[in-house]
Amino acid sequence: MKTIKTVGVCGAGTMGSGIAQVFAQHGFSVVLFELNEAVLQQAQKGIEKNLSIAVEKGKLTETEKQKTLSGITFTADLNQVKADLIIEAIVENMAIKQNLFADLVAINTTETILTSNTSSLAITAIAKGISQPGRIAGLHFFNPAHLMKLVEVIKGASTDEETIETLKALCITIGKTPVLCQDSPGFIVNRVARHYYVESLKILEENACKMQNIDELLESAGFKMGPFKLMDTIGNDINFAVTSSMYQAFHQEAKFRPSRIQQQKVDAGHLGKKTGKGFYDYSA
């Protein structure tokens, strides 16, 4: 197995910042890259807030908080993203991801492991044209990354066993539970959970029930969060993109059809908690 001491995270949105926090809390030297300076600043504030909450709850000391913050370098310069392991957590767009991976390969050594936090795009396709594709894999965290234990470790067609074993061991080191997945649409969780969202949206489209009632019903059945609350937490743009990706991957299978209602939310910029409005209003 390879030794991982430094970690680069590309994308400082909700997922990227959470992933960076997790590694920094466990003593890794982390570089968090984001082109948008405003998003980068927000990520820094968000990480500090998460750590402060942990201190208040007695799960972290003030010293540990400061050590974690000092372990993260925030940058808008991709040339600084040189590490033993790099995790991409940017927009769910194949071409953009492939271009980023090509840029990362150019500035890193052949020993660097390159991973994607994609929810549904094929790891094999992301790795296409990249030298040493055996070092490319999926490393899919769940929101919020600093709290959720599960991580999907995805093996592409060319991913070698050393890469997989290194990533599985690394997940355990940072307190996560790794689950090995083959490279298939939606992997495990998103394939199983997709209908939690899609069927709930169909019920809403048909005016069979109000979204509040759907959320209440499913929460009463044991789910920690109803589908509409969860979509607002994830981000309707991200959730819609994953559904659309899986719809195409399954050759327009009707059961994966994206919702017109959710598309309207995305078009209107009502993305959920991060914009103050989604299916619910968070502006108050």
- Catalytic site residues? 119, 140, 152, 190
The 3-state secondary structure of the chain reads CCCCCEEEEECCCHHHHHHHHHHHHCCCEEEEECCCHHHHHHHHHHHHHHHHHHHHCCCCCHHHHHHHHHCEEEECCHHHCCCCEEEECCCCCHHHHHHHHHHHHHHCCCCCEEEECCCCCCHHHHCCCCCCHHHEEEEEECCCCCCCCEEEEEECCCCCHHHHHHHHHHHHHCCCEEEEEECCCCCCHHHHHHHHHHHHHHHHHCCCCCHHHHHHHHHHCCCCCCHHHHHHHHCHHHHHHHHHHHHHHCCCCHHHCCCHHHHHHHHHCCCEHHHCECCCECCC
Distance CA 158, CA 8 (A): 22
Q: How many CB atoms lie within 10 A of CB 137?
A: 27
Burial of 196 (0-12, 13-18, 19+ CB in 10 A): middle
Distance CA 216, CA 8 (A): 40
Of the candidates 58, 71, 61, 81, the one whose C-alpha atom is nearest the C-alpha of residue 25 is: 71
C-alpha of 82 from chain center: 20
